[in-house]
Homo-oligomer: A and B are copies of this chain.
Amino acid sequence: MREFSLAVVGATGLVGREMLRILEERGFPISRLKLFASERSTGLTLPFRGEKLKVEKLGQGSFRGIELALFSAGAEVSRNYAPQAQRVGAVVVDNSARFRMEPWVPLVIPEINPLDLDQQKGIVANPNCSTIQMLLVVYPLHLAARVERVFVSTYQSVSGTGEDAWEELAAQSRDLLEGRKAHPSVYPHQIAFNLIPQIGEFNQKGYCTEETKFLKETQKILHEKGIKIYATTVRVPVFRGHSQAVTVQTKGRLTAAQAKELLSQAPGVKLMEGDDYPLPIDCVGKDEVMVGRIREGEEEENILQLWIVADNLRKGAALNAIQIAELLKDKL
């Protein structure tokens, strides 16, 4: 079997470390693996297949000989280094928002639009975590009954922000339980025992970045300009696992029973029924997007409601990127 030379950029972050775990679990054929991170992490080592790999600093020539580069170090690093990797012939799978809306960059969920990879020109974008988990469930319903509007409210864990945010939730929770004040630093407000209904900056209409991503990314992935997504994105005091309350308005009628039947066969989706609904603490480390609480509105309304939970570090980020890499390697 042919093996590939890989780079993971942002290897020490929550998503980067999850990538290493998944590459190992899935036995990705690797001839050489280079790990990159920011200056403060260089010199560290990370375990991979029984070895200890040194974390390097990005620089000129970092991507020489690399065939596939998985980026998860933020939009700034992607902006500065993804084109460099691309120039020396690597194919980049970028987890940041930097290239997602570039018309020449495929934005791919392997279960939905794998063929878009045929158009790749050296950079492929991984969608936002929230978009991935929502579409994995909404897409089969869309194929069956044409989804016209999605109303989604999110309950997003702090691991979506990164390790600092994880520690902030723990530290603030401890402080408050012991009668001390909480000290916000990563987030603009206290996150422990609280909610923050803003993820990213606001645009002129009052939508925050995380909300507009839903709409733009969905339209691009589904190649459907007509579908409307109305989102409210909220950070909640949960460590890991993003949840979504989703209501879809379909053109055709779809009963809850029909939706369950479709979702029981949907790739990457785990259907749960009745009292057995998905919880964020149960999705940690799981590959599937879990869906439960499927129920239908009044007949004339063509409305279905669902509760969707996924591990934002896996299918929401690292796993989807590696699934893309798996498809790409067969074409290199």
Among the listed stretches A15-23, A101-109, A299-307, A316-324, which one makes contact with chain B, having 4 or more residues with CB under 8 Å of it? A299-307
**Quick check: is A219 within 8 A (CB to CB) of the other chain?**
no
Copies in the complex: 2
With contacts A206-B295, A295-B205 taken as known, whether A194 is within 8 angstroms of B274 at the C-beta atoms is no
- Is B293 a contact partner of A153 (Cβ separation < 8 A)? no
Taken residue by residue from 307 to 331, chain A's Cβ proximity to chain B (1 for < 8 Å, 0 otherwise) reads as 1000000000000000000000000
A239 to B194, CA, bound (A): 8
Please name the residue on chain B nearest to A232 by beta carbon. Answer: B245
Please tell me which stretch of A56-64, A68-76, A275-283 contacts chain B, meaning at least 4 of its Cβ atoms lie within 8 angstroms of it.
Answer: A275-283
Nearest neighbor of A233 in chain B, beta-carbon distance: B245
**B197 with A293: CB separation less than 8 A:** yes
B280 and A194 form a contact (CB under 8 A): yes
A170 at the interface (CB under 8 A from B): yes
Asked whether any CB of chain B lies closer than 8 Å to the CB of A294, the reply is: yes
| Chain B hits for A174, CB < 8 A | 177
Q: A153-B245, A274-B202 are contacts. A230–B305 as well, Cβ < 8 Å?
A: yes
Q: Evaluate whether A256 and B195 lie within 8 angstroms (CB atoms) in the complex, with A155-B155, A305-B232 already known.
A: no
For chain A, what secondary structure do more than half of its interface residues adopt (helix, strand, loop), or is it mixed?
Answer: mixed
A173-B177, A206-B256 known; A198+B277 contact, CB < 8 A = yes
A43 CB–B CB distance under 8 Å: no
A87 within 8 A of B: no
Return the contact of A234 from the options B190, B245, B256 (Cβ within 8 A): B245
- The minimal Cβ–Cβ distance linking A210 to chain B, given in whole angstroms, is 12
Query: B294 contacts A202, CB within 8 Å?
Result: no
Q: Cβ of A207: which chain B residues have Cβ within 8 Å of it?
A: 295
A61 to chain B, nearest CB (A): 43
Cβ-defined contact, A307 with B230, below 8 A: no
* With known contacts A205-B295, A279-B189, A296-B205, A232–B194 Cβ distance under 8 A: no
With contacts A177-B170, A256-B205 taken as known, whether A193 is within 8 angstroms of B237 at the C-beta atoms is: yes
A193 x B230 contact (CB < 8 A): no
The answer for the CA separation of A228 and B247 in the assembled complex, in Å, is 13
Q: Which residues of B contact A193 (CB under 8 A)?
A: 169, 237-239, 281
A53 to B190, CA, bound (A): 38
Bound CA–CA A202/B277 (angstroms): 12
A112 and B230 CA atoms in complex are apart in Å by 28
Known: A197-B243, A206-B295. 7 other contacts (CB 8 A): A170-B177, A193-B237, A193-B281, A198-B293, A206-B293, A230-B303, A236-B236
